[in-house]
Each structure stands twice: as structure tokens, then as C-alpha cells.
Amino acid sequence: MKRKLDSLKRFILGIAIAGGLAMSTNTASAGLIAHWKFDDSLKDETGNHNGEPIDADTGVFYEDGLVGSGALSITGHTEAVQVENHETIELSGAFTISAFVKTAGGAGEQLVLYQGSVKGFGNGGDDSKQFELYGGGGLNAADGENGAFFHSAQSGAFGSSWKASHDIDPFDGEWHHIVWTYDVNRTPNLVHMYLDGVEKTADDPGLWRNGWKGTVALKADDTTRDDVVMRIGSRDDGGGGYTAFIGAIDDVQIYNIALTAEEVQYINDNPGDTIQPPVGPEIMQRPSDISVLPGESGSLTVSAEGSSDFNFQWQKNGQAIAGATDKQSVLHVPNLFSSTLSFTDVKAEDAAVYTVVVSSADTTVTAEARVFVAVDPEITVQLHPGIKIDGAPGFEYRVDYTDSLTKPVVWTELVTLTLATSQFIVFDQDPATRPQRFYRTVLLGRPE
């Protein structure tokens, strides 16, 4: 059942970006461009790229979606969506476009996302890009500069479609997950496309790329032109013609990185979730000091959590210990790892300060602990001054000292205490080896 959006509730769709496996709700993070859920709204979950109907009189319509409370429902060009502030969505360098789609029309050209001249693909500039269902069982990623297509479409002479190779038909009227990833620095294939998690690249046998090689870089978006639009669900073709998606589009995401196959599979298996940037390690349990006897065994253990790849390195008195990089996963707790530094047949020289350095590509945290080895102590006989205080119990006194009574006299606090008895002896921890030292007591009053 289709639902028309009231004009006072029109907002635009969005797209999501990230780089590690973690579920997101409605917040943007580093790299996130936009995320359109189409839950009876054109709101961008990042707040940056709300949308509006292409035709204000027609508005937009919704139907039951794959996730959430709705999906964008399109039966013609005027029911598609135009994206606001699209200039900051750069479809070159590296990006990912992800969407869930369900067709209501036959096989052919079903446009999902278009960025380029309002006049249509290739009609107003060679920086146009589009992503669509195409042919009899595949996808099309097109670039206006090359004047060519790069897709897995039909079987036979036209290439290796998902329908031919995996019996996946995106035109069967069911929900399907489609993804286009691009990275100018990725070799040998800049472009990867996925249908329901199944990946195809430029080097797949029989792939029809119409002269567009996988190593051809996309032209950077021209942000100086004023005729460029980004649309979801349709494009103008000039002369009054247009190409539109006929069916439903749900949960569109765009990333400024090329997601990995694992990340694409995660979204495919968890519709509505997004991929978030990796989180650097955080120490969850710090190592504790230990005291041992010579010949005994002992250990120091730390645990740290983070979704990014990180490592452990133990140090002794600030120097790295060769091979001390133990890393163990904690059972049934994702992204939590521990590291243990073990001691056997402890010797006196093992007594030290031990530091563990936990580091990822962009985050480093440390923790330290001491190892005490109980050996026969050395005895040193020293004399210390004892200062006897005669005062009133329950009152607070301060004891000061100075090594010279030459004016101006500089007094240094030795200790502040509240007397429990009328007499108390305070010992100066500095040994009595100086030629002279003077002391005074100061009554501070009743403690607060």
C-alpha cells in the first residue's frame, strides 16, 4: 500500500559511511556522508543531506519497507527525490553506494542513484555518475567521462550476470541488496559491485565493460557548475525523457571509503545497520603489582577492547622486551583481547617497572605495574631528628623546617597533623647529616 507524504513532513534521504564492523543508529561519524532510511521521511540521518520531492505537487510516496517503517515508492520520474547539499558528496577517489531495492517493473534500466547535469547522463558534463539495475540480471555503474559502462548485466555475449552465474535475479520483485564500491588506489580493480553480497569486479571473465577498463579513474566531481544535481530514483534524459526506478528503494547509504567484501556482507545480512570507523583500543583491565620470592612464578595481565586491529608490546623499565607481544581473544566477547607477561624462576633482577603498550594505527594507550622480588633486605643505620610536640589533643598543628635563620627565613612544611594525645613525636625523614636544621610548630586550629 502506498502512502503519500504530507507536504509539511517532507525531508530528504541520506547515506552512511564508515570503516569497521560496528552497528550504528542515527548518528554521523568520521567519514559518514548520509543515510536515508525512508521511514515515511526524506530525512538524512546525518543531518547534512535532507531531500525534497522532485515535483512538489506530486510529492513522494512510501510503502512497507525491508527495514523500519517504510521505503520510497516510485512509479514515475516525478516521485523521485532530489538531494540537498550534494556538493559535499564526492563520488570519486573512494566511495561506496549501498541500497536495498525491489522492482515493480520489468527488466531493463532501473536507475537508483544519479549525480550529474540536470540535463541527463553525459548531456551536461563528463563527471556524471549513475548506479542502476540493468539488462536481464545485473548492475550498471556508469561514468560520463569514459562514455562507457562497467557492469555485470546480461549473459552470453554481454557478460557474466548474477542471474547467469548465481541465479540471482534483481528483477524478480523481491528485495535485493546492491552495492558499488570504488577506490582509485585499489589494484587491480578500482570498481567492485555486489548483488546480495556476491561480488563481481572488472576482471571477471566475460564482463561487459564496453571499453571501460578497471584501471580507469573516475573524473572528479565539478563543484563549480550550477546545473549538477543528485537524485535517488530517476534522471532526466533531455528532450522531456527520463529514466526512473519503478518499485521501492530502502535504506540508501553512501560512504567515502570503499567498503570491504566483509563489510558489504555485514550490511547484506543486517539491513538497516551501517559500518562505523574502527575504534582504537581502550584498556579494560590494568595489570596489578605482584610480589614474589626468588624461584617462584608470576604474571602480569592486561585486557583491551577495540574494533580496530591493535597489538600489545611489554616493556621493562621503558625498554621493549623481545617477543613479549602475546595477544589472546577473550572467549565470547567480540573485540576484547588480553595479553600476559609471564615470569618463571624469578630472579632479583626481574624486579622492575613493566609497561604494556597497546597500539593501533592511530591510537596508543599504556598501563604499568611493578614486580617486587622479596630478597634479604639491606640494613642501613641512620639517625633522624625527632621533634616532640606538646599540644592540645584534637587540634591541628603544622611542623616546619629551615636550614638557615638568616633573614628572610624560608620555612618549608614538614608535616601537618591533628594530635591524638598531648605529646607526639614527628621524625624528619631526611637523615641527621646536615650541619644544622631548625624546626617550629604552628597551631592551625580545630580541623574542619
Task: Show me where the domains of the chain are located.
Answer: 3-269, 282-373, 386-445
Average pLDDT rounded to a whole number, residues 162-188 = 88
- CA dist 24 and 40 (Å) reads 20
SS3 per-residue string spanning 57-100: CCCCEEECCCCCCCEEEECCHHHCEEECCHHHCCCCCEEEEEEE
* CA 432 – CA 430 distance, rounded (Å): 7
Yes or no: say if 98 and 44 are a contact pair by the CB < 8 Å rule.
no
On the question of pLDDT at 347 being above 60, the answer is yes
* Fold designation for 3-269: Jelly Rolls (2.60.120)
User: pTM for this one?
Assistant: 0.63
The better pLDDT of the pair 91, 126 is held by: 91
* 208 — pLDDT class (breaks 50, 70, 90): low
Is residue 203's pLDDT more than 80?
no
Give yes or no for a contact between 333 and 327, defined as CB atoms under 8 angstroms apart.
no
- Cα dist. 404→160, 188, 234, 401, 407 in Å? 95, 80, 90, 9, 8
Give the H or E element holding residue 339: strand 336-343
> So what's the pLDDT on residue 134?
80
Which residues have a Cβ under 8 Å from the Cβ of 429 and sit 6 or more positions away?
A: 384
pLDDT averaged over the chain? 83
Provide the H-helix boundaries in 233-344. Answer: 261-269
Place 19 in a pLDDT band, splitting at 50, 70 and 90: very low
Report CA-CA distances (Å) from 62 to 15, 50, 78, 203.
18, 16, 14, 38
Determine if residue 135 is left, alpha or beta; phi over 0 gives left, psi from -120 to 50 gives alpha, anything else beta: left
Check pLDDT > 90 for residue 382: no
Predicted confidence (pLDDT) per residue in 256-300, tens digit: 989 989 889 999 999 999 888 778 899 999 999 999 999 999 999
**What is the band of 16 on the pLDDT scale with cuts at 50, 70, 90?**
very low
DSSP secondary-structure letter at 319?
A: E
Please say if the pLDDT value at position 425 is more than 50.
yes
The confidence score (pLDDT) of residue 86 equals 85
Q: What's the pLDDT band for 126 if we cut at 50, 70, 90?
A: low
Residues in the chain: 448
Residue 22 pLDDT > 70, yes or no?
no
pLDDT at 20: 33
Q: Are 120 and 168 in contact (CB under 8 A)?
A: no
pLDDT value of residue 318? 96
Architecture of domain 282-373: Sandwich (2.60)
Q: Are 285 and 31 in contact (CB under 8 A)?
A: no
For residues 111 and 132, the answer to whether their CB atoms sit within 8 Å is: yes
| pLDDT band at 36; cut points 50, 70, 90 | very high
**340 alpha-carbon distance from chain centroid:** 27
